[in-house]
Amino acid sequence: MTTKGCCPLGDALLLGGGGLRARRAEPVRAQVNLLCLQKPSGRQPSATLDPGSIFKGSMGLLRSVQCLLAYRASSYRLPALGGFVSLPQRSRGDQSATAACTRNPLVRSAAMATSASSHLSKAIKHMYMKLPQGEKVQAMYIWIDGTGEHLRCKTRTLDHEPKSLEDLPEWNFDGSSTFQAEGSNSDMYLRPAAMFRDPFRKDPNKLVLCEVFKYNRQSAETNLRHTCRRIMDMVSNQHPWFGMEQEYTLLGTDGHPFGWPSNGFPGPQGPYYCGVGADKAYGRDIVEAHYRACLYAGVKIGGTNAEVMPAQWEFQVGPCEGIEMGDHLWIARFILHRVCEDFGVIVSFDPKPIPGNWNGAGCHTNFSTKNMREDGGLKHIEEAIEKLSKRHQYHIRAYDPKGGLDNARRLTGFHETSNIHEFSAGVANRGASIRIPRNVGHEKKGYFEDRRPSANCDPYAVTEALVRTCLLNETGDEPFEYKN
């Protein structure tokens, strides 16, 4: 069925046999196959759209197509676009929302909710960000809050560019608003611990990762960096290296996975891992922006790839030695949160964001020492794995911020995970607790991969636990207390 309508702004949309195209012309009467949408049964839809009510301005093309895809809640054939657009049956309330879509030219993707801030004009912001700042420097102080997995930040002005941590002053904040103190005694202190270039404000501005201390100058409960640094100092002569593979999931602001159908699921897992194409890679622009921002900041990011579940990605950080591992991963996470903020979406590090037959998200941790990396190192790798096998429950508790409860949803023995109740190890086995890469088995030296840490783990806790068990030879279910 062909519907004719007038495009008063001269934007003609042609949905014809030759494909989808837009052209700019003088005001004309456009012939639009708007509802040449046939159900598989051949029955025509009972409603029509007025193209003049949709095609408003230069953005009419994109928005009208989005409305068309959301217009009817079943499977229609789009001859102009080819194939079927499958949309699950909706409730009456959803159909009302769909009808509103056809009336609102500002509607965005039916399957994607983005933040209001992301729709502010970046060009206007850029105009101000180009203003000179003189010799002053903006330093953004970043810290882990009382949840042990979320980040907070605030900015202060410095008189000159800091060259080292000694140039960065201590600061304070309201711990009662970050789940770290009572309101009656809420002052807490930020002590700079690591400094990076700021990829958002750019040089000479800085990102400053901080440790958190209480009113009495004792380390806060979630300041796991404090003890991790002491443990790393004890084994510095063994040069422990780490590389962590951070998996994450992109969500809309409504909590729905990025790019998934609004009332259904994408195709089953299989084509998405390292996938290429609009139907396989969901949100690559975000990934590329994060990658470049990390490189600018000086984060030791090693690479990135699409993961098994659609809208799930991974980036790798390392190799890093000692305490540096946690510093670089936390800043990489912060940068990802900020990049997603600009795009109007949410990044989730939940270890099992979607229940059912979908992969979870982990933070596989690769570990080696100088002895493991040298000739004959396989012997030292096997000795470390033997020690880990005798301390499984201790590591499970250390590998997610809820003491293993989060990981219990992920470590089921399915979807490339081990069973949370059993320790296992194997060469090239992604269903084991510990994986020895095949090339390590051939070369008899290298590293091993602990696949148990969850995506929302604290890297300070993970790396500290590995060092305590493998290098300090601790046993039992509790960490040993060392004297200063």
Q: How confident is the model at residue 190 (pLDDT cuts 50, 70, 90)?
A: very high
Across the range 406-429, mean pLDDT stands at: 95
Find the range with the poorest average confidence among 87-91, 204-208, 275-279, 442-446.
87-91
Topology adopted by domain 231-470: Creatine Kinase; Chain A, domain 2 (3.30.590)
**What ranges do the domains of the chain cover?**
3-103, 124-220, 231-470
Mean pLDDT of the chain: 83
Contact yes or no for 25/43 (Cβ under 8 A) = no
pLDDT at 359 over 90: yes
pLDDT number for residue 66: 45
Q: Which CATH number fits domain 124-220: 3.30.1300.10, 3.50.50.60, 3.10.20.70, 3.20.20.10?
A: 3.10.20.70
Determine phi and psi for 483, rounding to 5 degrees: -80, 150
pLDDT number for residue 224: 98
pLDDT number for residue 240: 99
Find the range with the poorest average confidence among 47-56, 275-284, 302-311, 377-386.
47-56
Decide which of 41 and 354 is more confident: 354
Find the range with the poorest average confidence among 28-37, 89-98, 274-283, 335-344.
28-37
Q: How confident is the model at residue 227 (pLDDT cuts 50, 70, 90)?
A: very high
pLDDT number for residue 264: 85
Q: How confident is the model at residue 67 (pLDDT cuts 50, 70, 90)?
A: very low
Cα separation, 478 vs 425, whole angstroms: 23
pLDDT number for residue 88: 41
Q: Of 417, 311, 321, nearest to 363 (Cα)? A: 417
Q: How confident is the model at residue 75 (pLDDT cuts 50, 70, 90)?
A: very low
Q: In sequence order, what are the beta bridge partners of 364?
A: 245
Peptide bond into 319 cis (omega under 30): yes
pLDDT at 155 over 50: yes
Q: Which residues of 128-152 are buried (b: 16+ CB within 10 A; e: fewer)?
A: eeeeeeeeebebbbbbbbbebbbbb
User: Measured between alpha carbons, how far is residue 13 from residues 153, 309, 331, 413 in Å?
Assistant: 46, 35, 45, 51
User: Measured between alpha carbons, how far is residue 56 from residues 65, 132, 325 in Å?
Assistant: 13, 39, 51
Across the range 121-137, mean pLDDT stands at: 95
Across the range 460-481, mean pLDDT stands at: 96
